[in-house]
Structure 1
Amino acid sequence: MKNEKNIAILKEMAESVRTCMFTTFSTDNEFGSRPMGTAKIDDDGNVWFFTNEFSLKSKEISKDNNVLLAYSDPSKNTYLSVNGKAELVDDQIRKEAYWSIFIKAWFPKGVEDPNLILIKVTPEHAEYWDSSSSKAVVLFSILKAVVTGDTPDLGKHDTIKF
């Protein structure tokens, strides 16, 4: 059974940003990253994306399905890194349910596009930093640490498992 508290943290932090850097292990044995818009985070904590079935990232996932999703919202001082396993899923019902007008920019043929496929990322563990204090409070904490020699209090940092 999934940890509901950790799924709630994942959903809250990732859905507030929507776009992450989606990192795969490339066919040339190097890391490859690209920005991807999150289509949906389901109740089990799976993170869903739309892509072209014949894209480079699809080939990379087919070779090595370990992925890293990195979400960042510097304006709120929140950061989330998610390690998981990716799989390509051709599910027309989910495509229709997760579709939005923004996806049409990449898939002008719509939800019926024959190259349209979903990526499902099943999180294994994540690490997050949440210092939703204002930038002035963060700066004050850093300056205070410099003067006192203490470590600055930059909010909450934790590792979570799914």
Structure 2
Amino acid sequence: MLFRKTSIMKNEKNIEILKSKVEEVRICLFTTISAKDEFSSRPMATAKVEEDGSIWFFTNEYSLKSKEISKENQVTLGYSSPADNTYITVNGKAELVDDQVRKEAYFSAPVKAWFPDGVQDPRLILVKVTPETAEYWDGTSSKIVLAFSLLKAIVTGDQPDAGKHDKINF
């Protein structure tokens, strides 16, 4: 029983890390696989990261992206905040979800620009991404400290301290 409890606690910690980093950056490149088996990416705003680690987005039910998810639901999300030196990739399974309660809870003014009829727009659907793995790089140091670390590495031949990097599984 100790193994299961430890495993649950580790997963909760991984979800907490993922949630904080994704909420910090919010915009990602949402990558699907096209009908031609090519990667297809587009910027998307994260609507919500739930306590279980699932990541939610709004989309048009009739979009190419929705068709791609229906055919092949393996996706990659790439979050990037160069100003904060934070980068996250998430690999997981996507599914289209028509949930009126979540639509109402997660709907925001920016989403209204894409769906002027609001949560009643017949095209509006949610995409739920269930993470399987994630990887992040978090250089919490200032740009000056990072530049000094790079300069020091050039002079000494040592590896620069670029911050924290980790892979997490769910």
TM-score w.r.t. the length of structure 2 is: 0.93
2:40 is aligned with 1:32? yes
The 2-side partners of 1:136 and 1:149 are apart by 19
Gaps of 5+ in 1: none
2:145 is aligned with 1:137? yes
Alignment correspondent of 1:117: 125
Alignment correspondent of 2:158: 150
Higher helix share: 2
Match of 1:71 among 79, 91, 99: 79
The 2-side partners of 1:117 and 1:111 are apart by 9
The 2-side partners of 1:28 and 1:108 are apart by 32
The 2-side partners of 1:16 and 1:157 are apart by 17
2:15 is aligned with 1:19? no
SS of equivalent residue, structure 1 residue 108: coil
C-alpha displacement at 1:64, in angstroms?
0.5
C-alpha displacement at 1:11, in angstroms?
1.0
SS of equivalent residue, structure 2 residue 128: strand
2:98 is aligned with 1:98? no
Q: What RMSD in Å do the two structures reach over aligned CA positions? A: 0.9
Amino acid at match of 2:127: I
The 2-side partners of 1:122 and 1:19 are apart by 17
C-alpha displacement at 1:101, in angstroms?
1.2
SS of equivalent residue, structure 1 residue 158: strand
The 2-side partners of 1:93 and 1:111 are apart by 10
Gaps of 5+ in 2: 1-7
Amino acid at match of 1:33: S
C-alpha displacement at 1:58, in angstroms?
0.2
Alignment correspondent of 1:48: 56
The 1-side partners of 2:146 and 2:35 are apart by 41
The 1-side partners of 2:117 and 2:147 are apart by 48
Amino acid at match of 1:20: C
2:66 is aligned with 1:61? no
C-alpha displacement at 1:65, in angstroms?
0.3
C-alpha displacement at 1:63, in angstroms?
0.7
C-alpha displacement at 1:20, in angstroms?
0.4
C-alpha displacement at 1:29, in angstroms?
1.1
